Amino acid sequence: MAAIPVSARRPELRVRELRKQFPAPTGTLVAVESVSFTTAPGEFLAIVGPSGCGKSTLLQMVAGLLLPTAGEVTLGAQPVTQQRFDVIYIFQQYTKSILPWCTVRENVQLGLEARGFGRQEMLELCREYIHLVGLTSFGNYYPRQLSGGMQQRVAIARALVCQPKVLLMDEPFSSVDAVTRVSLQELTLRLWDQLHPTVLFVTHDLDEAVYLAQRVLVLRKSPSVVLQEHSIDLPYPRHPLRTRELPQFLAHRHALFEAVFSQGELPELYH
């Protein structure tokens, strides 16, 4: 039941030898050395790595929000910078990315306004997507009246209502409590199954990566390169508890753990 659409409408995302360096007091700081990968249309790809391995930098370059020093990102035949409407980024810091002066509906509407939708159309789409993320009666609420998890739901609705071909999620659930995180993970899988965008999901939570994704890339410590690639052959729909108890799940998590922590994160364990 994996949602892998074969629609030609959803082009593949190709990241080629992406590099980012910043000027630093002592010469240059290479945040991302050279990262390449390709996603199939509608694929759910997780990216994990030690903290500070340049995951956010990488993802912002994929989104076209940050100019790479070298390399390119293409969606189908064209560079991603020319298809800004097709790629949307969801930030970890929902408190900074949800507009506090806008209601839930006005927040969700933002991308539609940019795309020139009519008033009535916007209203209907907003209602539909606000309902889809489970905030049906909260359309006229202001963000400060919502919990963190609900605010992140607003961010998800605001992105998905634009029908992006690629959804980039940067540690989206790392600042919510454990219970909320599980429900947001379920929401993410459900919406992915319904709408099948390509998802790039950056996380430092290995459990989360294995649970959600079809494939996991392990990045090396900064300057980052792709260290390993794991295909997660667990069937969908996944179950928040039962899937996590499967021997394959544990095996995948084990392998990822080794890949990440063999990089000197826990030296006493490996040396």
Partner 1 sequence: MLGLNRAISSRWLGVLFVVALLLLWQGLGGVMQLTALPPVSEILAVWWRVLISGELPQEIAPSLGRMLAGYSLATVCGIAVGTFMGLTRWGYHLLEPLTELLRPIPSPAYVPVAILFLGLGDEMKIIIIGIACFFPILVNTYSGVRGIDLILIKTGETLGLSRALLLRKIIFPASLPYILTGMRVSLSIAMIMIVISEMVAATSGIGFYILLSQRSFEVHKMYAGIFTLAVLGYLLNSLFVAMEKRVLHWHIRND
Residue located via tokens 């994996």: 2
Rounded to the nearest whole angstrom, what is the least distance from the CB of residue 65 to partner 1 in the complex?
Answer: 5
Rounded to the nearest whole angstrom, what is the least distance from the CB of residue 178 to partner 1 in the complex?
Answer: 24
Neighbours of 168 (CB within 10 A): 27
Give the footprint of partner 1 on residues 149-168 (CB under 8 A). 158-159, 162
Using CB under 8 A as the binding rule, whether residue 87 contacts partner 1 is answered as yes
CB closer to partner 1 out of 96 and 242:
96
C-alpha to C-alpha distance for 201 and 46, rounded to whole angstroms: 5
C-alpha to C-alpha distance for 153 and 230, rounded to whole angstroms: 28
CB closer to partner 1 out of 42 and 111:
111
Rounded to the nearest whole angstrom, what is the least distance from the CB of residue 114 to partner 1 in the complex?
Answer: 4
Q: Are 18 and 34 in contact (CB under 8 A)?
A: yes
Which of 3, 30, 40, 99 forms a contact with partner 1 (CB under 8 A)? 99
Rounded to the nearest whole angstrom, what is the least distance from the CB of residue 139 to partner 1 in the complex?
Answer: 16
Which of 110, 123, 182, 225 forms a contact with partner 1 (CB under 8 A)? 110
CB closer to partner 1 out of 83 and 222:
83
Please give the size of the binding site for partner 1, defined by CB under 8 A.
25
At 68, the amino acid letter reads P
Rounded to the nearest whole angstrom, what is the least distance from the CB of residue 206 to partner 1 in the complex?
Answer: 26
Q: Quick check: helix, strand or coil at residue 117?
A: coil
Pairing outcome for strands 166-170 and 87-90 = parallel
CB closer to partner 1 out of 142 and 261:
142
Point out which residues bind partner 1 (CB under 8 A). Answer: 60, 63, 65, 84-85, 87-89, 91, 93, 96-97, 99-101, 110-111, 113-115, 142, 144, 158-159, 162
